[in-house]
Structure 1
Amino acid sequence: MWRPSLQPNGVITSYEVMYQIYERDYSTAVHTRLESIDRSYTIKNLDPGTPYQVRIVAFTSVGMGVLGEYVVFFSGELAPTKAPENLQATQLSSTRVNITWTPLSLIEARGFPQYKVVLSQLSQQRRQLDTNTVITNNSFSVFTNLVSHTCTL
Protein backbone atom coordinates (compact mmCIF):
# COMPACT_ATOMS: atom_id res chain seq x y z
CA MET A 1 0.00 0.00 0.00
CA TRP A 2 1.22 3.51 -0.73
CA ARG A 3 0.05 7.02 0.11
CA PRO A 4 -1.35 9.28 -2.59
CA SER A 5 0.62 12.34 -3.60
CA LEU A 6 0.07 15.36 -1.39
CA GLN A 7 0.17 17.55 -4.50
CA PRO A 8 -1.42 15.61 -7.37
CA ASN A 9 -1.45 17.36 -10.73
CA GLY A 10 -5.12 16.65 -11.29
CA VAL A 11 -7.44 13.77 -10.41
CA ILE A 12 -5.58 10.45 -10.27
CA THR A 13 -7.18 7.90 -12.60
CA SER A 14 -4.77 4.97 -12.24
CA TYR A 15 -1.35 3.83 -11.05
CA GLU A 16 1.47 1.84 -12.61
CA VAL A 17 3.69 -0.46 -10.51
CA MET A 18 7.21 -1.13 -11.81
CA TYR A 19 9.49 -3.70 -10.19
CA GLN A 20 12.67 -5.57 -11.01
CA ILE A 21 15.54 -7.41 -9.39
CA TYR A 22 17.75 -4.88 -7.59
CA GLU A 23 20.56 -3.33 -9.68
CA ARG A 24 19.39 -4.88 -12.95
CA ASP A 25 19.02 -2.98 -16.19
CA TYR A 26 15.81 -0.93 -16.27
CA SER A 27 14.73 -2.81 -19.40
CA THR A 28 14.09 -5.89 -17.21
CA ALA A 29 11.44 -4.07 -15.14
CA VAL A 30 7.94 -5.52 -15.05
CA HIS A 31 5.26 -2.86 -15.58
CA THR A 32 1.72 -3.44 -14.30
CA ARG A 33 -0.92 -0.80 -14.99
CA LEU A 34 -3.67 -0.77 -12.39
CA GLU A 35 -6.85 0.46 -14.03
CA SER A 36 -8.17 1.80 -10.75
CA ILE A 37 -7.20 4.15 -7.98
CA ASP A 38 -6.60 1.32 -5.51
CA ARG A 39 -3.36 2.04 -3.65
CA SER A 40 -2.21 -1.53 -3.16
CA TYR A 41 -0.87 -4.30 -5.33
CA THR A 42 0.46 -7.78 -4.53
CA ILE A 43 3.54 -8.87 -6.46
CA LYS A 44 3.57 -12.66 -6.83
CA ASN A 45 6.00 -15.42 -7.90
CA LEU A 46 9.16 -13.70 -6.67
CA ASP A 47 12.40 -15.61 -6.11
CA PRO A 48 13.08 -16.15 -2.36
CA GLY A 49 15.95 -14.20 -0.84
CA THR A 50 16.20 -11.88 -3.82
CA PRO A 51 16.39 -8.09 -3.53
CA TYR A 52 13.87 -6.24 -5.68
CA GLN A 53 13.21 -2.60 -6.28
CA VAL A 54 9.76 -1.18 -6.88
CA ARG A 55 8.33 2.22 -7.69
CA ILE A 56 4.94 3.68 -8.46
CA VAL A 57 3.75 6.35 -10.89
CA ALA A 58 0.30 7.95 -10.90
CA PHE A 59 -1.70 8.83 -14.00
CA THR A 60 -4.30 11.55 -14.50
CA SER A 61 -6.50 12.24 -17.52
CA VAL A 62 -3.60 14.35 -18.86
CA GLY A 63 -1.02 11.56 -18.61
CA MET A 64 1.79 10.13 -16.52
CA GLY A 65 3.01 11.90 -13.39
CA VAL A 66 6.48 12.01 -11.85
CA LEU A 67 8.08 8.62 -11.20
CA GLY A 68 8.41 7.77 -7.52
CA GLU A 69 11.76 6.79 -6.00
CA TYR A 70 12.69 3.11 -5.99
CA VAL A 71 12.13 1.24 -2.73
CA VAL A 72 14.22 -1.89 -2.13
CA PHE A 73 12.64 -4.97 -0.54
CA PHE A 74 13.34 -8.69 -0.20
CA SER A 75 11.10 -11.58 -1.06
CA GLY A 76 11.79 -13.36 2.20
CA GLU A 77 15.25 -13.43 3.70
CA LEU A 78 17.54 -16.45 3.52
CA ALA A 79 20.91 -17.16 5.14
CA PRO A 80 23.80 -15.20 3.60
CA THR A 81 25.84 -16.92 0.88
CA LYS A 82 29.15 -16.08 2.58
CA ALA A 83 30.71 -14.62 5.72
CA PRO A 84 32.03 -11.05 5.91
CA GLU A 85 35.67 -10.80 4.87
CA ASN A 86 38.72 -8.72 5.80
CA LEU A 87 38.07 -8.80 9.55
CA GLN A 88 40.44 -6.39 11.29
CA ALA A 89 40.90 -5.24 14.88
CA THR A 90 42.54 -1.88 15.51
CA GLN A 91 43.58 -0.97 19.04
CA LEU A 92 42.41 2.57 19.81
CA SER A 93 43.71 2.55 23.38
CA SER A 94 44.51 -0.03 26.05
CA THR A 95 40.77 -0.35 26.75
CA ARG A 96 39.20 0.34 23.31
CA VAL A 97 39.29 -1.62 20.06
CA ASN A 98 37.68 -0.98 16.66
CA ILE A 99 36.55 -4.08 14.71
CA THR A 100 35.95 -3.64 10.96
CA TRP A 101 35.07 -5.92 8.03
CA THR A 102 34.01 -5.73 4.42
CA PRO A 103 30.21 -5.64 4.37
CA LEU A 104 28.19 -8.10 2.32
CA SER A 105 26.34 -6.87 -0.73
CA LEU A 106 22.55 -7.16 -0.70
CA ILE A 107 22.88 -10.09 -3.10
CA GLU A 108 25.40 -11.91 -0.84
CA ALA A 109 23.40 -11.12 2.31
CA ARG A 110 20.11 -12.26 0.73
CA GLY A 111 18.41 -9.75 3.01
CA PHE A 112 19.31 -6.56 4.79
CA PRO A 113 22.52 -7.60 6.56
CA GLN A 114 22.98 -7.56 10.31
CA TYR A 115 26.26 -8.53 11.89
CA LYS A 116 26.86 -10.17 15.26
CA VAL A 117 30.29 -9.35 16.68
CA VAL A 118 31.51 -11.31 19.70
CA LEU A 119 34.62 -10.13 21.54
CA SER A 120 35.95 -12.30 24.39
CA GLN A 121 38.27 -11.08 27.09
CA LEU A 122 40.69 -13.74 28.30
CA SER A 123 43.01 -13.83 31.28
CA GLN A 124 46.71 -14.59 30.80
CA GLN A 125 45.85 -18.22 31.62
CA ARG A 126 43.36 -18.10 28.68
CA ARG A 127 40.34 -18.23 30.99
CA GLN A 128 37.38 -16.29 29.70
CA LEU A 129 36.78 -13.17 31.80
CA ASP A 130 33.95 -11.58 29.84
CA THR A 131 32.21 -11.65 26.47
CA ASN A 132 30.87 -8.59 24.70
CA THR A 133 28.33 -9.05 21.91
CA VAL A 134 27.08 -6.37 19.53
CA ILE A 135 24.50 -6.71 16.79
CA THR A 136 24.85 -3.99 14.19
CA ASN A 137 23.92 -3.01 10.64
CA ASN A 138 27.27 -1.24 10.23
CA SER A 139 30.55 -2.71 9.01
CA PHE A 140 32.37 -1.73 12.19
CA SER A 141 31.97 -1.89 15.95
CA VAL A 142 33.91 -0.13 18.71
CA PHE A 143 34.27 -1.95 22.03
CA THR A 144 35.11 0.17 25.06
CA ASN A 145 35.83 -0.29 28.78
CA LEU A 146 37.86 -3.44 28.11
CA VAL A 147 40.36 -4.88 30.56
CA SER A 148 43.80 -4.09 29.20
CA HIS A 149 45.54 -6.89 27.18
CA THR A 150 42.71 -9.44 27.43
CA CYS A 151 40.86 -9.48 24.09
CA THR A 152 40.52 -12.10 21.36
CA LEU A 153 38.12 -12.31 18.44
Structure 2
Amino acid sequence: MPENSSRPQVLLQLLDDVPEPAYAHPGDAGADLVTRVDVELAPGERATVPTGVAIALPDGYAAFVHPRSGLAAKHGLTVVNAPGTVDAGYRGEISVTLLNTDSTMPVVLRRGDRIAQLVVQEVARVEFLRAETLPGSHRGSGGFGSSGGFGTAAP
Protein backbone atom coordinates (compact mmCIF):
# COMPACT_ATOMS: atom_id res chain seq x y z
CA MET A 1 0.00 0.00 0.00
CA PRO A 2 1.46 3.42 -0.90
CA GLU A 3 2.47 5.88 1.81
CA ASN A 4 -0.32 8.25 2.77
CA SER A 5 1.16 11.74 2.45
CA SER A 6 -1.78 13.22 4.39
CA ARG A 7 -0.64 11.55 7.62
CA PRO A 8 0.37 13.97 10.36
CA GLN A 9 4.13 14.14 10.75
CA VAL A 10 5.76 13.84 14.17
CA LEU A 11 9.37 14.89 14.60
CA LEU A 12 11.33 12.25 16.51
CA GLN A 13 14.59 12.69 18.39
CA LEU A 14 16.45 9.56 19.44
CA LEU A 15 18.23 10.24 22.74
CA ASP A 16 19.90 6.84 22.84
CA ASP A 17 20.71 4.00 20.47
CA VAL A 18 17.34 2.23 20.84
CA PRO A 19 14.69 1.28 18.29
CA GLU A 20 12.42 4.15 17.34
CA PRO A 21 8.68 3.83 17.98
CA ALA A 22 7.21 1.47 15.39
CA TYR A 23 3.90 -0.13 14.52
CA ALA A 24 4.10 -3.93 14.76
CA HIS A 25 1.29 -4.63 12.28
CA PRO A 26 -0.58 -2.74 9.56
CA GLY A 27 -3.58 -1.00 11.07
CA ASP A 28 -2.16 -0.89 14.63
CA ALA A 29 -3.18 2.22 16.58
CA GLY A 30 -0.17 2.17 18.90
CA ALA A 31 3.52 2.36 18.10
CA ASP A 32 5.73 0.35 20.45
CA LEU A 33 7.98 2.15 22.93
CA VAL A 34 11.01 0.38 24.39
CA THR A 35 13.01 0.76 27.58
CA ARG A 36 16.52 2.17 27.30
CA VAL A 37 17.54 0.68 30.66
CA ASP A 38 17.38 -2.68 32.39
CA VAL A 39 14.83 -2.71 35.19
CA GLU A 40 13.48 -5.27 37.64
CA LEU A 41 10.15 -4.63 39.32
CA ALA A 42 9.38 -6.62 42.44
CA PRO A 43 5.73 -7.52 43.11
CA GLY A 44 3.80 -4.30 43.72
CA GLU A 45 6.78 -2.11 42.74
CA ARG A 46 6.66 0.76 40.25
CA ALA A 47 9.36 2.61 38.35
CA THR A 48 9.54 5.41 35.83
CA VAL A 49 11.34 3.97 32.81
CA PRO A 50 12.98 6.13 30.08
CA THR A 51 12.33 5.27 26.43
CA GLY A 52 15.16 7.17 24.75
CA VAL A 53 12.83 9.20 22.52
CA ALA A 54 11.46 12.72 22.45
CA ILE A 55 8.86 13.97 19.99
CA ALA A 56 7.41 17.21 18.66
CA LEU A 57 3.71 16.76 17.99
CA PRO A 58 1.82 19.12 15.69
CA ASP A 59 -0.49 21.58 17.44
CA GLY A 60 -3.90 19.98 17.93
CA TYR A 61 -2.46 16.53 18.65
CA ALA A 62 -1.50 14.61 21.79
CA ALA A 63 0.13 11.24 22.31
CA PHE A 64 -1.20 8.76 24.84
CA VAL A 65 0.96 6.06 26.45
CA HIS A 66 -0.98 2.81 26.85
CA PRO A 67 -0.02 -0.51 28.47
CA ARG A 68 0.87 -3.46 26.24
CA SER A 69 -1.86 -6.07 26.56
CA GLY A 70 0.53 -9.05 26.44
CA LEU A 71 2.66 -7.72 29.31
CA ALA A 72 -0.48 -7.04 31.33
CA ALA A 73 -2.00 -10.46 30.70
CA LYS A 74 1.17 -12.54 31.09
CA HIS A 75 3.09 -10.59 33.73
CA GLY A 76 0.67 -8.16 35.40
CA LEU A 77 2.64 -5.17 34.09
CA THR A 78 0.68 -1.98 33.54
CA VAL A 79 1.12 1.76 33.14
CA VAL A 80 0.22 3.51 36.40
CA ASN A 81 -1.43 6.62 34.93
CA ALA A 82 -2.79 4.92 31.84
CA PRO A 83 -3.03 6.42 29.46
CA GLY A 84 -0.18 8.82 30.13
CA THR A 85 -0.53 12.06 28.18
CA VAL A 86 2.19 13.65 26.07
CA ASP A 87 1.12 17.20 25.19
CA ALA A 88 2.03 18.86 21.89
CA GLY A 89 4.32 21.34 23.65
CA TYR A 90 6.37 18.73 25.58
CA ARG A 91 9.87 18.19 24.20
CA GLY A 92 11.48 16.02 26.89
CA GLU A 93 12.17 12.32 26.90
CA ILE A 94 9.06 10.15 27.05
CA SER A 95 9.17 8.04 30.20
CA VAL A 96 6.67 5.42 31.28
CA THR A 97 5.69 4.74 34.89
CA LEU A 98 5.25 0.97 35.07
CA LEU A 99 3.67 -1.05 37.88
CA ASN A 100 4.07 -4.77 38.54
CA THR A 101 0.63 -5.88 39.76
CA ASP A 102 1.68 -9.52 40.19
CA SER A 103 1.60 -10.50 43.86
CA THR A 104 4.46 -13.03 43.72
CA MET A 105 6.65 -12.71 40.61
CA PRO A 106 9.08 -9.94 39.68
CA VAL A 107 9.08 -8.52 36.15
CA VAL A 108 12.48 -8.24 34.50
CA LEU A 109 12.87 -5.89 31.53
CA ARG A 110 15.99 -5.56 29.43
CA ARG A 111 17.12 -2.58 27.38
CA GLY A 112 15.22 -2.64 24.08
CA ASP A 113 12.20 -4.56 25.44
CA ARG A 114 8.85 -3.18 24.31
CA ILE A 115 7.12 -1.68 27.36
CA ALA A 116 4.19 0.45 26.15
CA GLN A 117 2.34 1.75 23.13
CA LEU A 118 2.15 5.35 21.94
CA VAL A 119 -1.14 6.38 20.35
CA VAL A 120 -1.20 9.78 18.63
CA GLN A 121 -4.62 11.40 18.35
CA GLU A 122 -6.09 14.67 17.23
CA VAL A 123 -7.52 16.53 20.21
CA ALA A 124 -9.86 19.47 20.54
CA ARG A 125 -9.25 22.43 22.79
CA VAL A 126 -12.54 23.70 24.09
CA GLU A 127 -13.85 26.86 25.66
CA PHE A 128 -15.32 26.23 29.11
CA LEU A 129 -18.49 28.22 29.78
CA ARG A 130 -19.83 28.58 33.30
CA ALA A 131 -23.45 27.58 33.86
CA GLU A 132 -25.72 27.57 36.91
CA THR A 133 -27.29 24.30 35.75
CA LEU A 134 -26.54 21.77 33.07
CA PRO A 135 -29.01 20.38 30.55
CA GLY A 136 -30.42 16.95 31.32
CA SER A 137 -29.16 13.74 29.76
CA HIS A 138 -30.09 10.08 29.70
CA ARG A 139 -27.29 9.24 32.15
CA GLY A 140 -27.64 12.26 34.40
CA SER A 141 -25.22 12.32 37.33
CA GLY A 142 -24.85 8.52 37.52
CA GLY A 143 -21.18 7.69 37.86
CA PHE A 144 -19.05 4.80 39.05
CA GLY A 145 -20.99 1.59 38.43
CA SER A 146 -24.20 3.33 37.39
CA SER A 147 -24.59 1.18 34.27
CA GLY A 148 -24.32 -2.12 36.14
CA GLY A 149 -21.64 -4.68 35.54
CA PHE A 150 -20.12 -6.96 38.14
CA GLY A 151 -22.73 -8.88 40.10
CA THR A 152 -25.70 -7.65 38.09
CA ALA A 153 -27.78 -9.89 35.89
CA ALA A 154 -28.43 -8.90 32.30
CA PRO A 155 -32.08 -8.01 31.59
Q: Same fold (TM over 0.5)?
A: no
Q: Rg bigger for which structure?
A: 1
TM-score normalised by L of structure 2: 0.29
The higher relative CO (CA closer than 8 Å, separation ≥ 6) is in 2
